[in-house]
Amino acid sequence: MATDNEKAAEIVADRRELSAEKLRQEAVKQGLEVAKKATLKIVLRWINFGAAATIVGLFITMLFMNLQLFFGNLVNAPLIKEAKLSKWEVAFIIVLDALFAAGLAFSFITAYMLYHPWEIGKALTEWAVESGLCKFLSIKCPT
């Protein structure tokens, strides 16, 4: 028959084995979480870089990177928190957004000029007369 000391020693050994097993399981869970976060980061980066190969892909890339910038870097959303953009990517998306805004403004101005050519011509003629450009270029302007 086992004595009380032997029973106590078995119980302590069982508890140590259980706590060691729990620690192993916890380490595996943490490892899986780290792996999921790293995988998400890699997947989002590949979506960004892969989609940028076409014109439509550039818009998709801008959308994804702006979402990452807003939700990952600024709001710290839990899903995108680990996929924050690095400093060079933030600089890149800011420059890309500025270029996109300039291109959009240029497109609107061009479209307006194409749909209202007489108004633009009249405005340019008035500007040339008022600014003295006609005299400077020695051309005859309507008065």
Q: Is residue 120 part of a domain?
A: yes
Mapping DSSP onto H, E and C, the string for the chain reads: CCCHHHHHHHHHHHHHHHHHHHHHHHHHHHHHHHHHHHHHHHHHHHHHHHHCCCHHHHHHHHHHHHHHHHHHHHCCCCCCHHHCCCHHHHHHHHHHHHHHHHHHHHHHHHHHHHHCHHHHHHHHHHHHHHHCHHHHHCCCCCC
Q: Is residue 9 part of a domain?
A: no
**Residue range 58-87, pLDDT digits in tens:** 777 778 888 888 877 777 777 666 667 778
Angstrom CA distances, 47 to 42, 44, 52, 58, 101, stand at: 9, 5, 8, 11, 23
Domain that holds residue 123: 93-143
Q: Is residue 44 part of a domain?
A: no
Q: What is the pLDDT of residue 123?
A: 86
Q: Is residue 129 part of a domain?
A: yes
Q: What is the pLDDT of residue 13?
A: 65
Q: Is residue 64 part of a domain?
A: no
Q: Is residue 135 part of a domain?
A: yes
**Residue range 85-104, pLDDT digits in tens:** 778 888 888 888 898 899 99
Residue 2 has pLDDT above 60, yes or no: no
**This prediction's pTM:** 0.47
Q: Is residue 35 part of a domain?
A: no
Q: How many domains does the chain have?
A: 1
Average pLDDT over residues 125-141: 77
Q: What is the pLDDT of residue 105?
A: 95
Mean pLDDT of the chain: 77
83-104 exposure pattern, b = at least 16 Cβ within 10 A, e = fewer: bbbeeebeeebeebeeeeeeee
Q: Is residue 109 part of a domain?
A: yes
